[in-house]
Structure 1
Amino acid sequence: MAVETFDVAVVGLGALGSSAAYQAAIKGAKVIGFEQFELGHVRGASHDTSRIVRTSYGAPEFVALARSAYKDWAEIERRSGLKMLTITGGVVFLPKDGPNGSHTFSDSLDANNVPYERLSAAEVNRRWPGFNVPDSVDTIYTADTGIVHASKAVTTIQYLARGAGAILRDNTSVDAVVPQPGGGVLVKTSGGDVHAKKVIIAADAWTNKLLGPLGVELPLTVMQEQVTYYKPKPEHDARFESDKFPVWIWGGAGSDEKWFYGFPFYGEPVLKAGQDAGRNDMVPEERTWVPSERLRRELNTFIDGLIPDHGEELRTVTCQYTITPDRQFIISPMEKHKDIIVALGNAHAFKFAPAIGRVTAELALEGKATDDLSKFGFSQPTVSKL
């Protein structure tokens, strides 16, 4: 029996992989995508409700790609007829004594001609009374920051991909990707083999399972992270509505450099907050789904100071982070196997997902991307050759 051939095969159908399948399909390619679990599963990093969308970053390459992503989100809204983004405005709090001075963000925004405001603590607290920002903090405000609903967005992108002809197979594990001497890649799956001219690997925590046999191993750290939802008292609700309270990020300061982030009301009258990369390390097979008491204490202590009227804890939801030491994206063909393209988002890529899907589809179908990906390759400090 002949092995079916596709233009593009995508491994992993979270936000990045689903976007790659969608973007390749709307370009007219014959596409197949594989997900080892059920579509919409909660074992990775693309589930639950809200994710931050923003152009505000401390590196210009991220600002540039984020600007492109906003256009791709708008195209998804046009094609689906659904609203994807809720724009709230957003603030980044950067302690003056921290390693991430506000100039890193303002310089990156300036380099990309993105407007912003630099605010004092007093201005922040006056504009948004829910905050209690100390004088030792500088603030960068960007009006284009907002929220995307994670689960709804991924489901929408998958429907658009299927509508454009992509075949998406869930509960189908990919056991190996084998470059072929005559070109293309044999994709060996639990449901049978297929041949693809190009393969896009968006497997996140499971990436090394496929790269290892090809002589490359990424220094991945996988951790179980968590976010907590809080219910303010009814008399405080008005100040936390999404049209009156921004998305926020707290930049690390001191020796621990802990970063925190949070959301206004979105979908329900609750606040959401979490610590970024709290280092509850594990491997996927060891995931407990039980929230960490240490992370809970650290978050509550922080939130008590920044948002005193956050209210009582309602629930805590876990998710999975996969990061390299530098947390730089990898969006690149493999050096020795050019028919295999890797997309790794380092646990901060949801906002970029449609753009990452588009550029990986461009790499697969056209050999080059319209966006500058020069900072997102297989750099020597990041990749080990076996």
Structure 2
Amino acid sequence: MQADIMVIGAGSVGLAAGYQLARRGARVVLLDEGAPPHALGSHHGSTRLIRYAYGEGARYVPLLLRARRLWQELEAESGEPLLLPCGVLNLGRADSPFIHQVAASAREYGLALEQVARDEIARRWPAWQLPAGLAGAFEPEAGVLYCERALLAWRRLAERAGARLLEHSAVRALSMDSKGGVTASTAQGEIRASKALLCAGQHTVTLLAGLGLSLPLTRVRKTFAWYRADEKAMGPGCFPGFSADLAEGIYYGFPTLDGAGFKLGRHDGGQPLAPGEPLAPFGAFEEDRAELDAVVRAYLPGVGELIEGKACHYIRTPDEDFILDRHPEHERLFFASACSGHGFKFAAVLGELFAHWMLDGDPGFDLAPFRLARFG
């Protein structure tokens, strides 16, 4: 099979890129090891937060502002509700680097952000029970993205625009031909394209190693869970999403949506995983539930019993920033990995960015902070 552009990995970035490329007239084939959306990558679990005053660094804010517009456009084109602006509360000590950077990025880009003291948090969102020393920064325009719903929208629109998705087509190896084109070997045969975008999660390391490029990535098992909660106290109209730098670790959470319950996860921590190692189910480790229950008891005592827990994985860089680049010797091969557990909110803009880069020769953003060369 021959295509203009091959996208390897039809997860969030892959499907967003496939949609953007196909709508501009490129002949696109997407390859995936499963049938997306699925639980093999990093896009399952129903919801993700989207924040704009970004504690991970102001360098992300231009991407986030473009992403917001693209999420809104995807909603309009697909007819699917994808973005819920319920607000996000950033929590931490006043001297927390995370909270400091949230405020700094808001000032730099003129973003709406309200500094809220502990007593004010208790008054506005009484589900919280915070100890002395904690305060917050509330971002009213931030909120929740419906991740699996978004992938289905991209898939439908990409295929409508002419993209072809080959399910259960894991790529075993990549090779470059004498003209610079890319060939992917799969169980179903070889796929050839003039250019390729590699965004295959844990498989990116192995596939690039076969072309002489080493990525400093690690894979980490993560867990999250839903708890019973009163929608009158913790629904989206009265309880925002949150990102919290606590003594126990870095946690994130969501209001109870569509009767599913209150969702809570931990961003740091987790168990190291080898590439290809199966994910142990939620509950396989004592800390899976214990670390989440501890946060509920300490800070959200009105939350009820656990409903369900799930396992996922992060693919992390040493500095937890993204890698967005192209192969230094094979310039028709582009790659996006890894997003270190905070990438979904950017998927819409990363898809557009790679489409511009591959078709026009310019990504439209300064990607110097995200190049592989920063690791030496």
Contact 1:174–1:189 (Cα < 8 Å) also in 2: yes
Q: Distance in 1 between matches of 2:259 and 2:11?
A: 24
Counterpart in 2 of 1:26? 23
Contact 1:120–1:135 (Cα < 8 Å) also in 2: no
Counterpart in 2 of 1:115? 112
Counterpart in 2 of 1:72? 70
Q: Distance in 2 between matches of 1:293 and 1:97?
A: 32
Counterpart in 1 of 2:239? 245
Match of 1:357 among 342, 351, 367: 351
Name the CA shift for 1:262/1:290 in 2 (closer, same or farther; >3 Å). closer
Counterpart in 1 of 2:286? 293
Name the CA shift for 1:250/1:357 in 2 (closer, same or farther; >3 Å). same
Please report how far the alpha carbon of residue 372 of structure 1 lies from its aligned counterpart in structure 2 after TM superposition. 2.6
Counterpart in 2 of 1:275? 266
SS of aligned partner of 1:47: coil
Alignment length (residue pairs): 372
> Are positions 1:57 and 2:54 aligned together?
yes
Structure 1 letter corresponding to 2:305: E
Pick which of 322-331 and 162-171 moved more: 322-331
Match of 1:316 among 309, 312, 316: 309
Q: Give the % identical residues.
A: 29
Match of 1:157 among 127, 150, 154: 154
SS of aligned partner of 1:371: coil
Match of 1:14 among 2, 8, 11: 11
Pick which of 11-20 and 279-288 moved more: 279-288
- Structure 1 residues 223-238: aligned runs within 5 Å: 223-232=220-229, 236-238=230-232
Unaligned runs of 5+ in 2: none
Q: Distance in 2 between matches of 1:355 and 1:171?
A: 26
Name the CA shift for 1:177/1:252 in 2 (closer, same or farther; >3 Å). farther
Query: What's the TM-score once normalised by structure 1's chain length?
Result: 0.92
Structure 2 letter corresponding to 1:351: K
RMSD of aligned alpha carbons: 1.6
Contact 2:67–2:348 (Cα < 8 Å) also in 1: yes
Match of 2:189 among 177, 181, 192: 192
Contact 1:278–1:295 (Cα < 8 Å) also in 2: no
Structure 2 letter corresponding to 1:125: A
Q: Distance in 2 between matches of 1:29 and 1:338?
A: 18
Please report how far the alpha carbon of residue 135 of structure 1 lies from its aligned counterpart in structure 2 after TM superposition. 2.8
Query: What's the TM-score once normalised by structure 2's chain length?
Result: 0.95
Contact 2:41–2:313 (Cα < 8 Å) also in 1: yes
Q: Distance in 1 between matches of 2:25 and 2:368?
A: 26
Please report how far the alpha carbon of residue 274 of structure 1 lies from its aligned counterpart in structure 2 after TM superposition. 0.8
Please report how far the alpha carbon of residue 252 of structure 1 lies from its aligned counterpart in structure 2 after TM superposition. 4.9
Match of 2:94 among 89, 93, 96: 96
Q: Distance in 1 between matches of 2:367 and 2:86?
A: 29
Contact 1:231–1:270 (Cα < 8 Å) also in 2: yes
Counterpart in 1 of 2:372? 378
Q: Where in structure 1 do 4 or more consecutive aligned residues deviate above 3 Å?
A: none
Contact 2:251–2:266 (Cα < 8 Å) also in 1: yes
Q: Distance in 2 between matches of 1:183 and 1:216?
A: 16
SS of aligned partner of 1:69: helix
SS of aligned partner of 1:22: helix
Q: Distance in 2 between matches of 1:334 and 1:135?
A: 50
Q: Distance in 2 between matches of 1:249 and 1:192?
A: 45
SS of aligned partner of 1:107: helix
Counterpart in 2 of 1:332? 325
> Are positions 1:135 and 2:132 aligned together?
yes
Name the CA shift for 1:101/1:358 in 2 (closer, same or farther; >3 Å). closer
